[in-house]
């Protein structure tokens, strides 16, 4: 009778022979992951098993496993679930914990015999990103320098979310491109720029893909970050990129920016960004609000105690109210506003305030 180690070996063998249709972990012994569903896929010629972790609150997270790490990761997962179903093109097997607490594998030996001899019916490996064509491919030099992709242009597994988010942001830039000046140099400010993932992406998009001349200024209070950005821009040959250490509250400019961007300026820094952008007369503002601590610490409405008594709900309502107040501020300045989302199929929703 097959045991746990035999079942693990069967899964790895099925992965190696490309016959897995689905692998489902259910009835957790402990922990907050209610279910794990896995399927075969591929990325840049590498075979992968994609795990989907189903968490409370309709939240799903993903992990991509290569052949080298498969057995090491799956072994402790098997220990954490009372039922695991392996569905393949050659038959199925089920691992479960009996009432006595002993592991039982149904159909495992029969499936193993089928894999050991005779013709195999493999499963077609669908690429991870088959449904999506991205603006960036991963081979761009700035992505390598930012640690998002490797020297051969493969996006690192842990950076897939960041890669998709950057591409999503560039899709919004593409939609707004017609509102930028048709001729001459485009002027863009990145306020509270941090490590400037978006600055480098937007600069590449406008100069390399659109063929435009761009003056881009990134501003942040952190001197070490600015020095790092300056060094990277010089290394990439981005002569139109400039960085300054400074407080954006004191920023003055004789030149009106065509666009102001800001990603995750923390807490009220987002409000300072929006205020500065309107003061400078920016034609386009793209900002993703980050943190809503200011209002969360101060909101006091007895009528809403049934909501505010719960920290999670209090944070959510503070987020909604904060963004609504920011929208009201921009509208009071006669700025036409779009409320967009940076959500991709595999990342958490992030709000994007767009004032074109």
Tens digits of residue pLDDT in 254-270: 789 999 988 766 667 78
pLDDT of residue 194: 86
In this prediction, residue 336 has a pLDDT band, given cuts at 50, 70 and 90, of: low
- Considering the four listed CATH numbers 1.10.10.10, 2.40.50.140, 3.40.50.150, 3.40.630.40, the one that applies to the domain covering 176-355 is 3.40.50.150
Angle, helices 160-176 vs 197-204, to 10°: value is 50
Name which of 20-24, 84-88, 149-153, 250-254 the model is least confident about. 250-254
User: Per the structure block, which two tokens stand in for 288?
Assistant: 């993703």
User: Per the structure block, which two tokens stand in for 24?
Assistant: 């489902």
pLDDT of residue 123: 72
**pLDDT tens digit sequence for 157-196:** 888 888 988 898 898 889 889 889 999 999 999 998 888 8
In this prediction, residue 356 has a pLDDT band, given cuts at 50, 70 and 90, of: low
pLDDT of residue 345: 45
pLDDT of residue 343: 46
pLDDT of residue 344: 46
> Buried b vs exposed e over 240-263: b needs ≥16 C-beta within 10 Å?
bbebeeeebeebeeeeebbbbbbb
Closest of 44, 49, 47 to residue 63, by C-alpha:
49
pLDDT of residue 201: 95
Q: In what order do the strands lie in the sheet with 103-106?
A: 59-65, 46-55, 35-43, 20-28, 81-88, 91-97, 103-106
**pLDDT tens digit sequence for 320-333:** 887 788 778 877 87
Q: What is the mean pLDDT of residues 207-234?
A: 95
**Radius of gyration, CA atoms only, the chain:** 25
Residue 342 has pLDDT above 80, yes or no: no
Residue 9 has pLDDT above 50, yes or no: yes
pLDDT of residue 348: 47
Closest of 57, 55, 104, 51 to residue 77, by C-alpha:
51
pLDDT of residue 128: 59
Q: What is the mean pLDDT of residues 239-248?
A: 94
pLDDT of residue 346: 46
Give every CB contact of residue 201 below 8 A, 6+ residues apart in sequence.
Answer: 136, 142, 166, 169, 170
Q: Would you list the domain boundaries of the chain?
A: 4-116, 176-355
Q: pTM, whole model, 2 decimals? A: 0.60
Q: How far is it, in rounded angstroms, from Cα 142 to Cα 136?
A: 11
Closest of 277, 279, 296, 292 to residue 323, by C-alpha:
292
Q: Give, in order, the Cα–Cα distances in Å from 72 to each of 12, 67, 233.
A: 10, 10, 40
DSSP type of residue 148: S
User: Per the structure block, which two tokens stand in for 32?
Assistant: 């907050």
What mean pLDDT, rounded, does the chain reach? Answer: 85
Give me the residue label for tokens 């392996």: 86
Q: What is the mean pLDDT of residues 288-315?
A: 80
Give every CB contact of residue 119 below 8 A, 6+ residues apart in sequence.
Answer: none
CB 91 within 8 A of CB 107: yes
Q: How far is it, in rounded angstroms, from Cα 33 to Cα 137?
A: 33
In this prediction, residue 143 has a pLDDT band, given cuts at 50, 70 and 90, of: very high
Residue 229 has pLDDT above 90, yes or no: yes
């Amino acid at each position: 009778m097959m045991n746990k180690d035999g079942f693990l070996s069967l899964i790895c063998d099925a992965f190696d022979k490309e016959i897995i249709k689905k692998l489902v972990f259910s009835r957790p012994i402990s922990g907050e992951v209610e279910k794990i569903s896995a399927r075969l896929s591929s990325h840049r010629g590498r075979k992968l098993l994609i795990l989907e972790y189903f968490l409370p609150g309709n939240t799903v997270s993903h992990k991509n496993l290569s052949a080298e790490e498969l057995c090491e990761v799956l072994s402790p997962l098997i220990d954490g679930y009372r039922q695991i179903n392996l569905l393949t093109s050659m038959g199925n097997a089920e691992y479960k914990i009996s009432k006595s607490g002993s592991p039982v594998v149904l159909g495992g030996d029969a499936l193993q015999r089928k894999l050991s001899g005779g013709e195999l019916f493999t499963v077609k490996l669908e690429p991870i990103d088959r449904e999506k064509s991205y603006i960036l491919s991963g081979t761009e030099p700035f992505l390598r320098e930012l640690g998002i992709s490797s020297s051969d242009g493969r996006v690192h597994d842990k950076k897939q979310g960041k890669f998709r988010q950057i591409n999503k942001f560039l899709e919004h830039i593409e939609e707004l491109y017609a509102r930028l000046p048709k001729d001459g140099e485009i002027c863009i400010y990145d306020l509270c720029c941090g490590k400037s993932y978006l600055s480098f992406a937007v600069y590449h998009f406008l100069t390399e893909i659109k063929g435009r001349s761009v003056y881009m200024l990134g501003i942040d209070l952190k001197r070490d970050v600015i020095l790092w950005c300056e060094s990277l821009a010089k290394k990439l040959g981005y002569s139109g990129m400039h960085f300054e250490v400074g407080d954006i509250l004191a920023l003055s400019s004789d030149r009106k920016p065509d666009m102001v961007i800001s990603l995750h300026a923390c807490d009220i820094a987002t409000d300072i960004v929006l205020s500065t952008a309107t003061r400078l007369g920016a034609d386009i503002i793209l900002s993703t609000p980050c943190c809503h601590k200011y209002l969360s610490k101060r909101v006091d409405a007895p009528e809403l105690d049934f909501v505010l008594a719960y920290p999670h709900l209090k944070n959510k309502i503070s987020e909604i109210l904060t963004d609504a107040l920011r929208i009201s501020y921009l509208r009071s300045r006669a700025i036409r506003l779009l409320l967009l989302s940076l959500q991709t199929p595999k990342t958490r929703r992030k709000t994007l305030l767009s004032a074109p």
